[in-house]
Amino acid sequence: MDKTWYRIQNKADQPTDVYLYDDIGGYGIDSASFVNELNAIDSSEINVRINSVGGEVFQGFAIYQALREHKADVNVFVDGIAASIASVIAMAGDKVTMARNAQMMIHDGHVAVQGNAADLSKMVELLDRASNNIASVYAERCGGSVEDWRGAMKAETWYTAEEAVAAGLADEIVAGEKRTARNVSDLRIFNYAGREFAPAPKTFDAVESEASKELNIDIDSLINSIKKGLEI
């Protein structure tokens, strides 16, 4: 069987099971293949099971939108990890359930790129727009503003199942079946290799307070620099 990052199981008179258990958009398979199969599903209920560190941002957005627009009730289960764009896909669920030992991670979009200054400038704008779109998905589901969620994303915030429910990113926690978890080595592409290595999520008030302190420090430094300049 050829490798793929998703698997869809249709069973007569039962919910359809969708497994996203690898890098979104990997193995040369784009989201169009997934969306075409998804749109052919006639079930009234779809269970989406996620254990993914993320993948290609725009492929993930297409999957998120297709799930949101599907006529079926969509139940999302985070079996191991929903990181990066996989966490956005999770937000498409009418209900999001975390396994007790599962984790979720949100961060700003990033990409490997090369080119001249104009190329890099365009990529910065594209990434900023994409990250704002991601933040708007979290804000729509959980409350808070786009700016709030961008702050959490820039900090690369990891959540345990309990923390995800507290933040509104998930609805409930279940013991869940024992499933294959991601290796820590899979997570070394991020700043933190999993929730156990990351600081606890901060409240939006705390993030705003830190940002205000940094702004005040910058202003004080500027004033001191100006004073020193006048003294010379």
Decide the pairing of beta strands 157-160 and 103-106: antiparallel
Q: Would residue 43 be called left, alpha or beta, if left means φ above 0 and alpha means ψ between -120 and 50 degrees? A: beta
- For the stretch 40-51, pLDDT in tens is 999 999 999 999
Q: Computed over its alpha carbons, how large is the radius of gyration of the chain?
A: 20
Predicted local distance difference test score (pLDDT) of residue 83 = 95
* Domain ranges, residue 27: 6-201
Looking at 107, 185, 209, 221, which residue is catalytic?
107
Tell me the C-alpha distance between 103 and 87, whole Å: 10
110 is catalytic: no
230 with 140, same domain?
no
The 8 Å CB, 24+ separation contacts for 110-115 are 111/57
Count of the separate structural domains present in the chain: 2
Give the CATH number for residue 74: 3.90.226.10
CB atoms within 10 A of CB 191: 13
- For the stretch 202-222, pLDDT in tens is 877 665 555 455 445 554 554
84 is catalytic: yes
Looking at 31, 43, 52, 84, which residue is catalytic?
84
- For the stretch 161-196, pLDDT in tens is 999 999 999 999 998 655 555 555 577 778 888 888
79 with 68, same domain?
yes
22 with 106, same domain?
yes
pTM of the model: 0.82
216 with 164, same domain?
no
Examine residue 1 and state whether it is found in any structural domain, yes or no: no
Predicted local distance difference test score (pLDDT) of residue 144 = 93
